[in-house]
Structure 1
Amino acid sequence: MTSTDALTAFFDQLATQGEQFRFRLPSRPDAGRFIDQLLRLLFPITQDCQSVSVDVQRTYDKLTDQLQCLLRPLQSQLSQSPESVSNQFFKRLPGIYSMLQSDARAIAENDPAANGIEEVVSVYPGFFAIAVYRVAHELLALEVPMLPRMLTEYAHSHTGIDIHPGATIGPSFFIDHGTGVVIGETTIIGKNVKIYQGVTLGATHVAKNLAQKKRHPTIEDNVVIYANATILGGKTVVGHDSVIGGNVWLTHSIDPHSLVYHQSEIQVRSVNSVE
């Protein structure tokens, strides 16, 4: 086969490859633009260089059109029309906004480095990841395939925080710093929970036949989880008002009001000492 024939065969393969996929997807850049503009509607703190004001109704109408556009490639997999899904999502937007206000307050009130709500909602990676998760979670509740995960992966790529849209997370959620945080699909998190960078809420092992099982832990109210702690397993429950120290590896449940910490031995000596 000549190089020309090989290239022609390759182009034919590309032309027919769509037959193997269940449905088309919206573009990732469009999904990113939608979530960025939606959050700007909810928190119009930053301004672009072309405007000094925000026309709420015009932005709302534009976002409605954008969401319907994102949903149309998925239409064969939706239980209702893109227009109906979009309408139901925006009816839920006040509830999403209320949850995000509680998250922003939790960060502003608990982080000594935070200089108010404005800083939290405009630059904090933890808040951005939580905000995108809350939007994606509602779309998943409306049985929208793929798009919720596209949104949370957009946040993941910008923040290093990986929250599956299927997780259940209560109000006043606080992620500090956040890089390397992983929250699995069946995780349940109560209210007023604080977690730090590098925390993993994951499964004890990965197998495809466990897809419909609860694989990730439950974190009850008022729990603090410090940096690089790993909590695994669908039956693992961290009782309310507990503190999980840094670098802890936990695969079993603990009672409320527990303090769990990892103890390591640290030795300090002079570099000039003789063995």
Structure 2
Amino acid sequence: MKLDTVIDDIVESYQTHNEISKVDAIRQPDKAVIIDLLERLQDIIFPGFFGRKGLKSDYVKYYLGDQIQIIYNDLKNQILLAFDYCENCKDSCKEEEARDKTLTFLKTIPQIREYLATDAQATFDGDPAAISISEIVLSYPGYYAIMVNRIAHELYKLNIPLIPRIMTEHAHSLTGIDIHPGATLGKYLMIDHGTGIVIGETTVIGEHVQIYQGVTLGALSTHGGQSLKNVKRHPTIEDNVTIYSNASVLGGDTVVGEGSIIGGNTFIIKSVPSGTIVNNKAVMRFKYSDTAEDFNQNEFK
């Protein structure tokens, strides 16, 4: 067999499976540029931690101005390229829409910082091994995954294709934590250890929630495929809930009530009342009363 034959066979496969080929395609977002944007955004969200060291307060506005200009230009261009994957985007207004969405996103940075400040505090308060807030910002993978989600979620809310998912999958590859950009995360979120966590697109998480490694907040079934798009298929976690390692909470109608504790290795497909404990024997105890109720394990199958 000659090498030319191998090449011809591969070229033929490009034509046969055109859906995974980009031959002759001029416009598409650049993954490397998007990852660079994440790093620049991390730099301005946490000034002095990343990027330029020794940043002085009397220079910070000039440094920020330079960085914001780069971020604005690169993000606007990547959004414009991503619009080619948007069925509802009109060619006549794509340029203007890309500018508007870029500016709208940039205006959310103070709010993103506010939420991340609460996440850092919650992580410090909840982890006795934490030495300082700085250690969390610089080194905790759970905190990094939350940061990327908070950035990507704002872009997701603006209906920007591809870019939010590229960002969160980059974080997934680095941390082992898979948070869809559509997931809504409340303030004071703590992800401890984090490896193997999966949080689905329509998940809603309240405030002061703690999540440990291996937790899945997922769909009860995905057999419907694309017919389930835009359907609430992931759970709602209310305020002050703790979910311990390797627990699975599944289904769009499933609500974990405020103040509940979900024990490790549990499998939950029905709503949990507020203020209860669930262990892997499917026993629930009301935290704020002197009574305890045993539930049949079949309730959670």
TM-score for both structures, normalised by structure 2: 0.80
Match of 2:230 in 1: 212
1:61 aligns with 2:82: no
The one-letter amino acid paired with 1:44 is P
Amino acid in structure 2 at the alignment position of 1:238: V
The equivalent position to 1:245 in structure 2, one of 244, 247, 263, is 263
Would the aligned equivalents of 1:45 and 1:118 in 2 still touch at CA under 8 Å?
A: no
Q: Does the alignment pair 1:121 with 2:129?
A: no
Q: How does 1:27-176 map to 2 (within 5 A)?
A: 27-47=30-50, 52-53=54-55, 55-76=63-84, 77=86, 78=89, 80=94, 81-176=97-192
**Aligned residue identity for 2:80:** R
- The alpha-carbon distance between structure 1 residues 45 and 118, as it changes in their structure 2 partners (threshold 3 A), is farther
Kindly state the Cα deviation for residue 18 of structure 1 after the two structures are TM-superposed. Answer: 3.6
Cα distance in 2 for residues equivalent to 1:20 and 1:241: 55
Aligned-CA RMSD value:
2.5
Could you tell me how far apart the structure 2 residues matched to 1:75 and 1:184 are?
Answer: 24
Deviations 1:159-193 (A, max 9, x none): 00000011111111110010000000111111110
| 8 A contact 1:137–1:166 mirrored in 2 | yes
User: Identity percentage over the alignment?
Assistant: 41
- Per-residue deviation at 1:210? 1.6
Task: Give the Cα–Cα distance (whole angstroms) in 2 for the partners of residues 196 and 225 of structure 1.
Answer: 6
Corresponding residue number in structure 1 for 2:207: 191
For residue 178 of structure 1, the aligned residue among 190, 194, 197 is 194
Pair 47,127 (structure 1): closer, same or farther in 2 beyond 3 Å: closer
Q: CA deviation at 1:7?
A: 3.0
Give the TM-score taking structure 1 as reference length: 0.87
Could you tell me how far 1:5 is from its partner in structure 2? 6.4
Q: Provide the C-alpha distance between the structure 2 equivalents of 1:19 and 1:236, rounded to a whole number of angstroms.
A: 44
Q: Are the equivalent residues in 1 in contact too, given 2:83–2:161 (CA < 8 A)?
A: no
Larger relative contact order, structure 1 or 2 (CA cutoff 8 Å, min sep 6): 1
- Measured in 2, the distance between the counterparts of 1:123 and 1:45 equals 15
Instruction: Please tell me whether the aligned partners of residues 176 and 194 of structure 1 are also in contact (alpha carbons under 8 angstroms).
Output: yes
TM-aligned CA distance change 1:9 to 1:37, over 3 Å:
same
Residues 154 and 47 of structure 1, relative CA distance in 2, 3 Å threshold:
closer
Q: Any idea what SS the aligned residue of 2:231 has?
A: coil
Displacement of 1:117 in angstroms is 1.2
Could you tell me which runs of 5 or more consecutive residues in structure 2 were left unpaired when the two chains were aligned.
Answer: 283-301
Are 1:45 and 1:122, in contact at CA under 8 Å, matched by a contact in 2? no
Equivalent pairs, count: 262
* Per-residue deviation, 1:46: 3.1
Q: Which residue of structure 2 lines up, in the alignment, with residue 270 of structure 1?
A: none
Shift of 1:89: 0.6
* Offset of residue 37 of structure 1: 1.5
Corresponding residue number in structure 1 for 2:7: 7
CA–CA distance in structure 2, aligned partners of residues 130 and 29 of structure 1:
21
Q: Which amino acid aligns with 1:72?
A: L
Q: Displacement, 1:93?
A: 1.4
1:12 positional shift: 7.4
- One-letter amino acid matched to 2:47: P
Listed as ranges, the gaps of 5+ residues in structure 1 are 265-275
Q: C-alpha separation between the residues in 1 aligned to 2:28 and 2:118?
A: 33
Moved over 6 A (4+): none
The 2-side partners of 1:51 and 1:187 are apart by 37
CA distance in 2, matches of 1:217, 1:110: 23
Determine if the alignment matches structure 1 residue 262 to structure 2 residue 262.
no
Task: Map Cα deviations across residues 106-155 of structure 1 (whole Å, 9 max, x no partner).
Answer: 11122111111111111110110001001111001111011100100000
